[in-house]
Amino acid sequence: MNAPDERVDVLVAGSGGGIAGAYTAAREGLSVTLVEATDQFGGTFAYSGGGGMWFPCNPVLVRAGVDDTIEEALRYYRSVVGDRTPAELQETYVRGGAALIEYLECDEHFGFKILPWPDYYSCAVGARNDGMRHIVSKAVPDNRLGRFQGLVRGPLDHERLGTPRPDLLTGGRAVIGRFLWAMTENPSVAAHLNTSLVELIVDDGRVAGAVVETDGARRAIRTRRGVLLAAGGFEQNDAMRAEFGVPGAALDTMGSPGNVGLAHRAAIAVGASTDLMDQAWWSPGLVHPDGRAAFALCFTGGIFVDRAGRRFVNESAAYDRAGREIIGAMREGRVGPRYWMVYDSRGGEQPPVMAPNVSFSPTAEYVSAGLWREADSLAELAHQIDVPPGNLVNTVRRFNEMAGRDDDEDFGRGRESFDRAFTGGASPLVPIDTPPYRAAAFGISDLGTKGGLRTDVHARVLDGDDRPVPGLYAAGNTMAAVSGTTYPGGGNPIGASLLFSHRAAMHMAVDG
Ligand SMILES: Cc1cc2nc3c(=O)[nH]c(=O)nc-3n(C[C@H](O)[C@H](O)[C@H](O)COP(=O)(O)OP(=O)(O)OC[C@H]3O[C@@H](n4cnc5c(N)ncnc54)[C@H](O)[C@@H]3O)c2cc1C
């Protein structure tokens, strides 16, 4: 380390939800250095086509006359998450989103709108099935971003399929873009790409900065107030996945490439305690010609079958709930790392997936990779996907009977309002009776791991005795998720990552 030490008030590692920490610290008058391990800002956050935020009773919803209450939202959140995470952390999240939006709306760089998105446990007490707890950012042109123009990660189709990058930032890219836009003119923010936090510096029991690495060269950045670790999960690191027992593989994660767990490691080395380390935000994943299973949702038909050719899950359940069932079946050996969606030709060749997140490639590519199969009869299809023909025929017969009654006695598909949210209220039980019959390969995908550093309500990292590690904060997927082993609603990961990053910065500004 030859360069002289840089000195700042706040160091933020990671530019997904961490961007809210950098912005807040700067707005509160602190000097900030933001380091981002990759060559783009935005992390997994920027991959989100919606960039939804679950912030009940926020000003955007209140202005629209939504009749929700924080107490009702809290009842819902508690009933879903249970006591797996501290009650005060849950309450901080549920109450805090509204105040954050109020804070951001005072700055003309931000603008939000409602995107109705139903809660994921429709039958839980306090659930909001009209989707009125969920907002997104208004779009923003990339050319507003000044020195940050062209530097927002994504979209997924650009990175995985090579499609051109749109000039208009939408969804998660719009949120990241608006934070960067707000920081363009602020000289107290330094932002470094291709720079990873690799180690924390501790002076007299206090985290007083970090060692960062750019192109193999290391230097120290010393902090007066604190270090915020908002470096995502460790989903891209197969060795860490194996060490902590996270099902699935880096190949099939949607997490951005820099999320390899360096910040987790650095914090553990200075005494941080962890929780939920085997957890991720799960989903069924449609396998694409590149061999990767990608987060897919909003199924308008089709059934998943196990090795025995039988259904094993409510296919229309919210993706994390379905993902957890799929993992359970994998653990029991009923389902392999790749399994099949069986459907028919009523909608053409593509499987009935409304939101694949990574756009479909040409059909021929799936067919030549053996990922999509087709046959004139179900028995023949069964041979092609290596399941017992009699079972598959019986499974589809039973499913079609239940579809006729609109009642899935086996897995309850369609009983919760979420199951019908993407079919305009129509039954998601669509008979499979129009040959040729088809099968598409699926796997288990994730949106990132969610186990990490235990924190208090100010996002201060806690040690094994529940004492804050002075000067150290964590948010987003680097923090042990407030939602525990559940995914209560769309907008929870992004909502919590923004909120706890913001709270960390406010704490550093006021008490740091
Ligand atoms: C297709 C898709 C759609 C989604 N839609 C939604 C949605 O609508 N609403 C929602 O709530 N959630 C959504 N999610 C999930 C959500 O995007 C993530 O859970 C969330 O962005 C995680 O935020 P984060 O800040 O923890 O991590 P990230 O956004 O991944 O950011 C972490 C950043 O830290 C960087 N980094 C890692 N290590 C270091 C280091 N040592 N030093 C410096 N930098 C480092 C990484 O390169 C990365 O840029 C979606 C995910 C996907 C894939």
Reported as a single tens digit per residue, the pLDDT across 435-453 is 999 999 999 999 999 999 9
- pLDDT score, position 3: 58
Q: Is the CB of residue 256 below 6 angstroms from any atom belonging to ligand 1?
A: yes
Q: Is 150 helix (H, G, I), strand (E, B) or coil?
A: coil
Q: The tokens of 346 are what?
A: 């009523």
449-488 per-position pLDDT tens digit: 999 999 999 999 999 999 999 999 999 999 999 999 999 9
Q: Is the CB of residue 474 below 6 angstroms from any atom belonging to ligand 1?
A: no
Residue nearest to atom 35 of ligand 1 (CA): 14
272-329 per-position pLDDT tens digit: 999 999 999 999 999 999 999 999 999 999 999 999 999 999 999 999 999 999 999 9
Residue nearest to atom 46 of ligand 1 (CA): 258
Residue nearest to atom 17 of ligand 1 (CA): 45
What are the residues facing 285 on neighbouring strands? 295, 443
Pocket-testing residue among 15, 32, 34, 45, ligand 1, by greatest number of atoms within 8 A of Cβ: 45
| pLDDT bracket for residue 423 (50, 70, 90) | confident
pLDDT at 335 over 60: yes
Does 187 sit behind a cis peptide bond, omega within 30 degrees of 0 on the bond before it? Answer: no
Q: What's the rounded Cα separation, in Å, for the pair 304 and 262?
A: 36
Q: The tokens of 389 are what?
A: 């023909």
Q: Is the CB of residue 279 below 6 angstroms from any atom belonging to ligand 1?
A: no
- pLDDT score, position 442: 98
Residue nearest to atom 38 of ligand 1 (CA): 231
Pocket-testing residue among 12, 33, 44, ligand 1, by greatest number of atoms within 8 A of Cβ: 44
The stretch 104-133 carries a mean pLDDT of 97
Q: Is the CB of residue 356 below 6 angstroms from any atom belonging to ligand 1?
A: no
347-404 per-position pLDDT tens digit: 999 999 999 999 999 999 999 999 999 999 999 999 999 999 999 999 999 999 999 9
Is 272 within 8 Å of 279 (Cβ atoms)?
Answer: no
Residue with tokens 């990175």: 159
Q: Is the CB of residue 47 below 6 angstroms from any atom belonging to ligand 1?
A: yes
The DSSP secondary-structure symbol of 320 reads H
**Alpha-carbon distance values, 105 to 58, 119, 206, 302 (Å):** 11, 25, 34, 43
- pLDDT score, position 7: 96
Pairing of strands 353-355, 297-299: antiparallel
pTM: 0.97
Pocket-testing residue among 36, 48, 159, ligand 1, by greatest number of atoms within 8 A of Cβ: 48
Q: The tokens of 302 are what?
A: 């089709």
Residue 496 Cα to ligand 1 middle (Å): 11
Q: Is the CB of residue 493 below 6 angstroms from any atom belonging to ligand 1?
A: yes
Residue nearest to atom 2 of ligand 1 (CA): 48
Q: The tokens of 309 are what?
A: 């050719």
Pocket-testing residue among 212, 447, 450, 478, ligand 1, by greatest number of atoms within 8 A of Cβ: 447
Q: Is the CB of residue 37 below 6 angstroms from any atom belonging to ligand 1?
A: yes
3-state helix, strand, coil in the chain (%, to 5): 30, 25, 45
Is 85 within 8 Å of 483 (Cβ atoms)?
Answer: yes
The ligand 1 atom nearest the CA atom of 475: 26
Mean pLDDT value across the chain:
97
**Alpha-carbon distance values, 10 to 32, 182, 209, 472 (Å):** 5, 18, 9, 10
